[in-house]
Amino acid sequence: MAAQELVFSTVNGLSISLDVTIPSTATAANPAPALLWWHGGGLLQGTRKASWPHLNAAPEKHGLAFISADYRLAPQVRLPEILSDIKAAMEFVRSPEFAEATGNRIDASKLVVSGGSAGGWLALLAGTGVGFKACGIEPPAAPSVVAAIYPISDLLDPFWNTKQEKVSYFPRRIEGSELAEYLDPKAPASAFSASDSPRSIFYHYMVQEALLPSLLLDGTGIAPEAFSIAPALASGEFSAPPTYVVHGTIDDKVPIQQSKDVVAALEAKGIASEFEVREGDDHLFDMSKDVTLDRMYAFINKHL
């Protein structure tokens, strides 16, 4: 089925797009639960169009309305603005306007938030409410389920704070001059970055130069630890709905320890969770059409 493009507004009136694919079996009398997904790219690059086969198959295979949403990219905006976009997307999906536009065929009271890499982090932040109040934003109403795929979860990890001569997975050192127009925080904000654009190497450059905390938070006065998922859960100040986490053991773009820490914190608090460790899988393993993540979808449907 072809996706339906809808547009929602941020707090300052900027229009951002999302794509909606509804199961053919969904009706107003029998609406489908919603899976709202955010792309990865370190919050620096990417597009809602970069959704993988298992996600695109979810409407017909798993009976889930699949919603892929854009958000503004750093460093032209910082984490507070990005989180405001995440909240706006969730509120739009739950709005009468969205219900009317989708023929009342989606049950937004059954909302799963998901994402890969930095998108998985956004799903964890949205699901727990971590970071929102630090940004001066009231957290969104909690979703029914979180499904985080190889997520970033802690800006304090040495991986984000240790410079490298060049990253292991890119054939050469990247010079800052190659990304000058994207590094400029005063450049026009964008909520879309094509996978074949020059911006597509921004993530690699960020890891090489250990820039993620500064690109996301410079000028905000907010400490990086305000967005650390596991310590926030351990503190007891935050909780989470049922949460599924999946990560590959040889991921060299987001360390698997990021996921291990989150799952340990969930388990310590008795929160329903499941951790799928993918032996020998790297980052973006689920791009393959052979990867179905059936365990993840079974967890989602169990908790809906």
What CATH number is attached to the domain comprising 40?
3.40.50.1820
Would you say 202 and 180 are in contact if contact means Cβ atoms under 8 Å apart? no
Is residue 194 domain-resident? no
**Contact partners, residue 70, CB within 8 Å, separation at least 6:** 16, 17, 18, 39, 47, 48, 191, 192
Distances 59 to 56, 62, 286 between C-alpha atoms, Å:
7, 6, 17
Quote the DSSP letter at residue 30.
Answer: S
The CB density around residue 223, as the number of other CB atoms within 10 Å, is 13
Check residue 12 and give its pLDDT: 78
Host domain of residue 250: 4-159+212-303
Number of independent structural domains in the chain: 1
Check residue 268 and give its pLDDT: 98
Is residue 58 domain-resident? yes
Is residue 188 domain-resident? no
Task: Please tell me the pTM assigned to this model.
Answer: 0.98
| Angle ∠(14,16,19) on CA atoms, nearest 5 | 165
Would you say 36 and 64 are in contact if contact means Cβ atoms under 8 Å apart? no
Residue 171: asked if its preceding bond is cis (omega within 30°), the reply is no
CA distance 161 to 102: 44
| H/E element, 118 | helix 118-128
Is residue 296 domain-resident? yes
The CB density around residue 279, as the number of other CB atoms within 10 Å, is 7
Structure tokens at 141: 């109403």
* Residues composing the chain: 304
Q: What is the Rg, in whole angstroms, of the alpha carbon atoms belonging to the chain?
A: 18
Check residue 172 and give its pLDDT: 97
Tens-digit pLDDT profile for the chain (304 aa)?
689 999 998 877 789 999 999 999 999 999 999 999 999 999 999 999 999 999 999 999 999 999 999 999 999 999 999 999 999 999 999 999 999 999 999 999 999 999 999 999 999 999 999 999 999 999 999 999 999 999 999 999 999 999 999 999 999 999 999 999 999 999 999 999 998 999 999 999 999 999 999 999 999 999 999 999 999 999 999 999 999 999 999 999 999 999 999 999 999 999 999 999 999 999 999 999 999 999 999 999 999 9
Is residue 72 domain-resident? yes
CA distance 182 to 73: 10
CA distance 239 to 262: 12
Is residue 24 domain-resident? yes
The CB density around residue 225, as the number of other CB atoms within 10 Å, is 14
Quote the DSSP letter at residue 107.
Answer: E
Is residue 168 domain-resident? no
Is residue 184 domain-resident? no
CA distance 127 to 240: 6
| Residue 93: closest CA among 118, 113, 71, 121 | 113
